[in-house]
């Protein structure tokens, strides 16, 4: 008896388990070499020939166009990591892959999937406690925030820019949006603009939009700007005249033209009289209106994108107005300074200071599209980790030290766990070891020797990480070198990797519709 369509495919039992595990492992393997300060980049080319060069785990996995459902779950680990804490995506994916690898061995030794799942959950709890014990005692100040930013940008292409100066910019940006209600991460944006060296990357106290003045004679700089944001067409809609007038004489034509002229003049005068210095409208502006307003010294932007209009309104406190008759001074937003600038093919408007200064923009420069794109991803991660570290006030040592401590704690507690579950708990510790092992391998060290040395140093000194400082690789206390990660990044990596791995292990029946 068939209860499913004959076209659907079904894999069951061990076959299902091992094919899922293999797919999950393969995905994690794909990002392994990018981990850490000496991690390599990947060049991804899509079917359209579009090229992305990146070191970012989540970006790589998303660009890879992965189809296998179990593999897709590892991609989701990276995605949720990115979403929740903004960094640690490679770490989470690599741990998940190794949890699967260890599970495969256990299944071969006839340990039941349920036992593995229970053991993994128990080990994850121990891991979270171990992270707690690793949290640094020092207050998370600007110095530590800079270290967090720098550690997160390690190994990323920063276009020749020092991670130190970028870290400074990132911390300044986050401090800028720190309000009583907490860090307003959404008020920080990044705007990339090619054409200069990455050294020209700077912080703009406001927002930057891709918009061009409607007329060349308009001022390129407006101080103390009153800003109107409109969804109004400033001109006569084409076709409107014909509909209203049946033109069959020269007189009537002249009348029509007069009426049009006066309508256009009416728009221009209403705006000029409203007291607005700068106008953004999402609709078109008639040339005659912009000429008139240029003479009046008003700066006008036409056909502004909807999201730009929204950003400008929310940053400057302007209310968007849909009809010119409704425009009142109350609707105006304010900024200390609005300027327009041309960058080759692009025209940008900078809206700075005043109400707009609640927002801040990292204005990223770089020689090529690839450079600014990777710089943008690096800064995005750094902004997230600094916000995360500032929010919880908790950082842990990086460079594998926290993972060494986690694995050590798990192993010592595993001794007290009965039965086969103990095997699963120990296997979890082995999977966590992948982080220091991979950091070692990616810096050209022998992974086994490094692991042994790290454990010994952890035993005798407490904090022990495999630190890359310039050309040197040493085992020491990462806090001494400013290699620090937010505690939440480690917690999230453990949680999301455990969740995905246990979910995949539990599956013993895959039914796929064709």
HSE, side-chain direction, 13 A CA sphere, residue 158: 25
Residue 308 a catalytic site member: no
* Binders of ligand ADP in range 268-287 (CB under 6 A): none
Catalytic residue among 34, 54, 59, 89: 89
Smaller CB separation from ligand ADP, 244 or 480: 480
Q: Does 384 bind Mg ion (CB under 5 A)?
A: no
Taking a C-beta distance cutoff of 8 angstroms, is the pair 370, 378 a contact? no
**By CB under 6 A, what part of segment 91-150 binds ligand ADP?**
91
Which residue in the list 79, 308, 381, 485 is annotated as catalytic? Answer: 381
Distance between CA atoms of residues 116 and 370, nearest Å: 43
Q: Where are the alpha helices (DSSP H) in 85-155?
A: 89-108, 113-134, 142-153
Q: Which stretch binds ligand ADP (CB under 6 A): 20-28, 89-97, 261-269, 310-318?
A: 89-97
Integer CA distances (angstroms), 288 to 25, 83, 109, 244, in order: 65, 48, 82, 21
270 a catalytic residue:
no
Hey, which residues does 476 pair with through a beta bridge? 465
> Is-catalytic flag, 56?
yes
Task: Please enumerate in sequence order all residues whose Cβ is within 8 A of that of 418, keeping only pairs 6 or more positions apart, or say none.
Answer: none
Out of 86, 155, 157, 486, the only residue in the binding site for ligand ADP (CB under 6 A) is 155
Give yes or no for a contact between 430 and 447, defined as CB atoms under 8 angstroms apart: no
Confirm if 374 and 54 have CB atoms less than 8 A apart: yes
Minimum CB separation from Mg ion for residue 56, in Å? 8
Which CB sits closer to Mg ion, 274 or 438?
438
Q: Using the rule CB under 6 A, which residue among 24, 39, 366, 486 binds ligand ADP?
A: 39
Q: Is 151 near ligand ADP (CB under 6 A)?
A: yes
Asked whether position 37 contacts ligand ADP by CB under 6 A, the answer is yes
Which residue out of 56, 373, 408, 433 is catalytically annotated? 56
CB 398 → ligand ADP: shortest distance, Å? 2
Q: Is 381 a catalytic residue?
A: yes
- Selected binder of Mg ion within 82, 84, 87, 413 (CB under 5 A): 87
List the single partner that 483 binds among ligand ADP, Mg ion, none, CB under 5 to 8 Å by kind. ligand ADP
Residue 89 binds ligand ADP, judged by CB under 6 A: yes
Looking at beta carbons, which residue is closest to ligand ADP? 398
Return the one option of Mg ion, ligand ADP, none that residue 52 interacts with (CB less than 5 to 8 A, by type).
none
- Shortest distance in whole angstroms from residue 435 CB to ligand ADP: 6
Q: Which of the residues 152 through 171 are near Mg ion (CB under 5 A)?
A: 152
Secondary structure (DSSP) of 4-18: S-TT-EEEEHHHHHH
157 binds ligand ADP (CB under 6 A): no
Q: What x-and-dash track marks residues 391-430 binding ligand ADP by CB under 6 A?
A: -------xx-------------------------------
Instruction: Find the shortest distance in angstroms from Cβ 170 to ligand ADP.
Output: 14
CB 379 to Mg ion: min, Å: 12
Q: Distance (Å, rounded) from C-alpha 361 to C-alpha 375?
A: 14
Out of Mg ion, ligand ADP, none, what residue 154 binds, judged by CB under 5 to 8 A for its kind, is ligand ADP
Q: Does 84 sit near Mg ion (CB under 5 A)?
A: no
Helical pair 487-506 and 13-32, crossing angle rounded to 10 deg? 150
- Say what angle helices 369-392 and 163-176 make with each other, to 10 degrees: 50
What's the alpha-carbon Rg for the chain, to the nearest Å? 29
Determine contact, residues 468/38, Cβ cutoff 8 Å: yes
Nearest to 126 by CA among 414, 512, 480, 351: 414
Q: Which of 34, 54, 59, 90 is catalytic?
A: 90
Residue in the block written with tokens 């094919």: 19
Contact 274, 228 (CB under 8 A): yes
From the list ligand ADP, Mg ion, none, pick the one residue 35 interacts with, judged by a Cβ distance below 5 to 8 Å according to partner type: ligand ADP
Q: Across the strands, what pairs with 51?
A: 45
SS3 content of the chain, % helix, strand, coil (to 5): 55, 20, 30
Rounded CA gap, 424 and 100, in Å? 11
User: Which spans of this chain sit near ligand ADP (rule: CB under 6 A)?
Assistant: 34-37, 39, 57, 87-91, 151, 154-155, 398-399, 439, 466-468, 483, 485
What are the residue numbers of the active site? 56, 89-90, 381
User: Which spans of this chain sit near Mg ion (rule: CB under 5 A)?
Assistant: 87, 152
């Amino acid at each position: 008896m068939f209860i499913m369509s004959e076209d659907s495919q079904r894999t069951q039992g061990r076959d299902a388990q091992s094919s899922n595990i293999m797919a999950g492992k393969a995905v994690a393997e794909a990002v392994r070499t990018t981990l850490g300060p000496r991690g390599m980049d990947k060049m991804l080319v899509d079917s359209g020939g579009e090229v992305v060069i990146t070191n970012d785990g989540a970006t790589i996995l998303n660009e890879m166009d992965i189809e296998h459902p179990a593999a897709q779950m590892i991609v989701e680990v990276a995605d949720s990591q990115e979403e929740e804490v903004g960094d640690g995506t490679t770490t989470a994916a690599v741990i998940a892959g190794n949890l699967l690898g260890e599970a495969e061995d256990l299944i071969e030794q006839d340990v039941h999937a349920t036992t593995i799942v229970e053991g993994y959950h128990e080990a994850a709890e121990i891991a979270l406690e171990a992270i707690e014990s690793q949290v640094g005692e020092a207050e998370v100040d600007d110095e530590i925030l800079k270290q967090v930013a720098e550690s997160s940008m390690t190994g990323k292409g920063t276009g020749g820019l020092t991670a130190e100066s970028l870290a400074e910019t990132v911390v300044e940006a986050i401090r800028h949006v720190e309000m009583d209600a907490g860090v307003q991460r959404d008020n920080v944006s990044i705007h990339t603009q090619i054409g200069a060296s990455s050294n020209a990357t700077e912080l703009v106290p406001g927002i930057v939009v891709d918009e061009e003045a409607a007329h060349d004679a308009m001022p390129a700089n407006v101080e103390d700007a009153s800003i109107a944001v409109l969804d109004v067409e400033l001109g006569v809609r084409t076709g409107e005249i014909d509909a209203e007038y049946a033109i069959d004489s020269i007189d009537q034509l002249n009348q029509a033209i007069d009426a049009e002229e006066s309508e256009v003049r009416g728009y221009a005068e209403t705006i000029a009289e409203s007291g607005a210095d700068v106008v953004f409208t999402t609709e078109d502006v008639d040339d005659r209106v912009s000429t008139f307003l240029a003479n009046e010294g008003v700066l006008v932007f036409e056909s502004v994108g909807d999201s730009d209009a929204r950003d400008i309104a929310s940053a400057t406190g302007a209310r968007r107005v849909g009809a010119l008759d409704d425009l009142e001074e109350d609707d105006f937003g304010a900024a200390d300074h609005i300027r327009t600038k041309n960058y080759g093919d692009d025209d940008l408007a900078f809206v700075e200071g005043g109400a707009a200064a609640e927002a801040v923009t990292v204005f990223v420069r770089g020689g090529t599209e690839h450079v600014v794109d990777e710089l943008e991803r690096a800064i995005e991660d750094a902004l997230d980790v600094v916000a995360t570290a500032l929010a919880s006030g908790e950082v842990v040592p990086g460079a594998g030290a926290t993972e060494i401590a986690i694995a050590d704690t798990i192993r010592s507690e595993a001794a007290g766990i009965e039965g086969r579950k103990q095997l699963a708990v120990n296997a979890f510790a082995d999977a966590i070891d992948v982080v220091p092992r991979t950091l070692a391998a990616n810096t050209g060290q022998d992974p086994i020797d490094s692991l042994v040395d790290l454990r010994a140093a952890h035993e005798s000194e407490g904090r022990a990480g495999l630190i890359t400082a310039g050309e040197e690789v040493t085992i020491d206390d990462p806090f001494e070198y400013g290699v620090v990660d937010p505690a939440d990044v480690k917690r999230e990596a453990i949680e999301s990797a455990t969740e995905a791995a246990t979910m995949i292990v539990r599956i013993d029946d895959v039914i796929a519709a064709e």
